[in-house]
Structure 1
């Protein structure tokens, strides 16, 4: 009986550990390229539960020769931000607002930590997330910490599955700037996936070290 139950559960376990590869066409990615006028930087997003204060999800924005968001095992998408294995291209200011607003809601807030880096460091981070591949569910923290530890200046980031553990480590990087984003939107964000126009989220400057 025990072997029978294990045999039934095994496909479910394997399914949970399987990534969902997505590969947008070359022309879509080329058309979406956005080059931000802001200095090269790496930004860590941490989604925090407003009730339990637990970390729920991690994502990474890299502003290099183009600006992209690495959202491992994430659910956000937009038709004008083509995706390749969890890397979303074309992160214009509007797309960034959409991404933040999708995650900040009545049950979660977003901690946004940014460190300015050299162009070479930003390009290194961009290459790493592009080469990472699709990430299985519940592995966002592991993939984010693994990528960051390979970037010059971020080797001290702890290897962890926990978004808040990574957030605290990122908060120790010299020059980090931290913001917290709150929103009172309803928890069901399925309608946000068809975003056309949205008000800009509320940004609150915070001390450099996040708790």
Structure 2
């Protein structure tokens, strides 16, 4: 598929069990790419599910606060317009968010997206905790994410776990969570993701 060929040149690495190399892009680039839509603050948990056995393959957390970032512990997603420092991805515009989704939702993997509104101070605490955590070890995406969530007000019911699906189930029981399942079909032309060009200010 042409989309995958283009994507391979932008978002580097192969999806599978969590595992990555730590990156620390320059702070000026992080500042330059910072993005906020000025909307409501929220947390969005992404869980990658293998179609073959319905097992959890990866966990990521979009934090929408004073800026939009994705905590991608031990993740393999890389993009030239997305600076990263210790598994925290910066500059998450709506287009980059769609690229991230499309990278993970493919013929062999679905993605579950769960979103809950949080106060601004909770979103900021989540960003601070993720930044302070540093890069996660291989296969610890759910464990590191659940540890961060447990420290937030209103998230005490989240259990520390190694398993992405267990974390997804706990997150899904939080009051006010909305959920959708994203398939490869959804994440392709229906999202109209343009991998060839990502504007410096819009994606």
Mark yes or no: TM-score above 0.5. yes
- Match for residue 70 of structure 1? 71
C-alpha distance in structure 2 between counterparts of 1:37 and 1:52, whole Å: 39
- Cα-Cα RMSD: 2.0
* Larger-Rg structure: 1
C-alpha distance in structure 2 between counterparts of 1:39 and 1:75, whole Å: 28
C-alpha distance in structure 2 between counterparts of 1:179 and 1:40, whole Å: 19
- Match for residue 195 of structure 2? 195
Paired residues for 1:1-211 under 5 Å: 20-184=21-185, 195-196=195-196
Q: Given the two structures, how large is their TM-score scaled by the length of structure 2? A: 0.81
- The offset of 1:19, in angstroms, is 7.0
Contact 2:45 / 2:61 at 8 angstroms: preserved in 1? yes
- The offset of 1:184, in angstroms, is 4.6
C-alpha distance in structure 2 between counterparts of 1:160 and 1:196, whole Å: 38
C-alpha distance in structure 2 between counterparts of 1:109 and 1:87, whole Å: 22
Higher relative contact order (CA 8 A, sep 6+): 2
Q: Given the two structures, how large is their TM-score scaled by the length of structure 1? A: 0.78
SS of 2:45 mapped into structure 1: strand
Q: Which runs of 4+ in 1 moved over 3 A?
A: none
Structure 2 unaligned residues grouped into runs of 5+: 1-18, 187-192, 199-203
C-alpha distance in structure 2 between counterparts of 1:112 and 1:120, whole Å: 22
- The offset of 1:76, in angstroms, is 0.5
- Match for residue 5 of structure 2? none
Structure 1 unaligned residues grouped into runs of 5+: 1-17, 186-191, 199-211
- Structure 1 residues 157, 133: CA separation in 2 closer, same or farther (over 3 Å shift)? same
SS of 1:126 mapped into structure 2: helix
